[in-house]
Amino acid sequence: MDKLVINGGNRLSGTIPISGAKNSALTLIPCALLTDEPLTLRNLPRLADIDGFQHLMGQFGVSIAIQGKRPEDFGRVVTFEASRLTTSVAPYDLVRKMRASILVLGPMLVRAGEATVSLPGGCAIGNRPIDLHLKALEAMGAEIELAQGYVKAILPDGGLPGGDYDFPVVSVGATENALMAAVLANGTSRITNAAREPEIVDLCNLLLAMGAEIEGVGSSELTIHGVTRLNGATYKVMADRIEAGSYACAAAITGGQVTLAGAKAEEMMATLNALEDIGVEVSHDKHGVTVAANGPLKATNLTTAPYPGLATDMQAQLMSLLCKAEGNSVLKETIFENRYMHVPELNRMGADIETEGRTAIVKGPCDLTGAEVMATDLRASMSLIIAALAAEGETQVRRIYHLDRGYERLEEKLQLVGADIERVDD
């Protein structure tokens, strides 16, 4: 198993290319199940989660053709063709490692008439039930059964009639599943209190390119007029706003200046606003976002919230940055109840962080020092990398398979801007 060895203290400077968004790509790939024509996705990141999802699609009989195999390439072009499905079952062995696998439920249901999907796995960051996915599909007319660790969804005779569903709380994944089912329903479906994340907009734009009829894109109220069939398409995956925000924190904690090539400021304004509150200079144009830390960092209070609020996926990275800020910062996590598992590891590096329930208090500035630390989930892993870049001495980060799920060739990108980081055998 690999580990990352980081010698801190180098100021990051230069340009980092931002990859296609993992959270978007994992939603766009199952759209291939909605048509028997080819779906080509450009800017698909090279990640363990993407490879896992491709394996799952292959399980269904989807053919996959990959371009851009050169090892020096970031991203690649992949064509999925589901002209003939061989099964509608997503087995436990393929689903257990990746929560996003549940996103095949809606599209497989309307394409094959039924779908059987193992209950998903993913990062251990708290309770993430799929009941909202199931309730939304039931509201549209699907019949749902739960047995022996599997969800089975069945179309009624005559197909999915469509229906209305008002989400009691905002759910990104459930909104995505409902959308993919509704586009091939017989009637009109309305989703209220829908998630508004840029990844939802990316999904809507792909579905529109495939011939879907969707009103209210980008809003919390979506109206979907079902169509009889969808066509194939060629579509570019949006830039990863979480990756961009993560590297922004890495640059800032080292007092550096980095341009995040391809990042879209309008899709990550809550993160950029938080960075500015901390004292980081931010500028942007059509080519990307530039961050620079030229003065002392300032403590601030942050609360995660559904989009357009601060993404929960940025909480851990900003916490690491606040370890070097002057004063006490308060972070409140409102999305997941168990997302502070990185705190003990940061404290091993010299951070002074206290937690109580969903609140964390970061007392800064801290003198961070290198240590051996263990990654606990994807974004927690990145928080340890960020802290290590500013720590005195050597840090060894273990269990980095979490990082490989969500950051395309992380050490290479950090090396581009001057980080002393190396992947070695553990």
Nearest alpha-carbon partner for 126 in 99, 95, 87: 99
Taking the C-alpha atoms of residue 208 and residue 177, their distance in angstroms, rounded to an integer, is 16
Three-state SS at 70:
coil
Of 123, 204, 249, 366, the active-site residue reads: 123
Q: Could you tell me if 320 and 387 are in contact, meaning their C-beta atoms sit under 8 angstroms apart?
A: yes
Q: Which string of b and e fits 193-228 if b means at least 16 CB within 10 Å?
A: bbbbbbbbbbbbbbbebbbbebeeeeeeebbbebbe
Q: How far apart are CA 172 and CA 143, in angstroms?
A: 22
131 is in an annotated binding site: yes
Rounded to whole angstroms, what are the CA distances from 268 to 202, 374, 408, 411?
14, 28, 19, 23
Return the DSSP state at 239. B
Residue 303: CA count within 13 A, CB half-sphere: 3
**395 beta partners:** 6
335 is in an annotated binding site: yes
Question: Is the Cβ–Cβ distance between 267 and 246 less than 8 Å?
Answer: no
Q: Does 205 belong to an annotated binding site?
A: no
Which of 15, 1, 78, 40 lies closest to 258, judged by CA?
15
Question: Is 36 annotated as ligand-binding?
Answer: no
Strands 188-192 vs 164-166: parallel, antiparallel or unpaired? parallel
Q: Return the residue matching tokens 């529109």.
A: 208
Burial class (CB in 10 A: 0-12, 13-18, 19+), 93: exposed
Asked if 123 is an active-site residue, the reply is: yes
The answer on whether 22 is annotated among ligand-binding residues is yes
First CA to last CA across the chain, in angstroms? 6
Strand boundaries in 231-371, DSSP class E: 233-236, 257-261, 281-285, 288-292, 301-303, 327-332, 353-356, 359-364
Q: Report the alpha-carbon distance of residue 155 to residue 177 in Å, rounded.
A: 15
Q: How far is CA 95 from the centre of its chain?
A: 17
CA atoms within 13 A on the CB side of 27: 29
Please check if 17 is assigned to a binding site.
no
Three-state secondary-structure class, residue 202: helix
Both structure tokens of 1: 């198993």
User: Which residue numbers belong to the known binding site?
Assistant: 22-23, 99, 128-132, 313, 335
Among all residues, which ones are annotated catalytic?
123
Annotated binding-site members for UDP-N-acetyl-alpha-D-glucosamine: 99, 128-132, 313, 335
Report the binding-site residues for phosphoenolpyruvate: 22-23
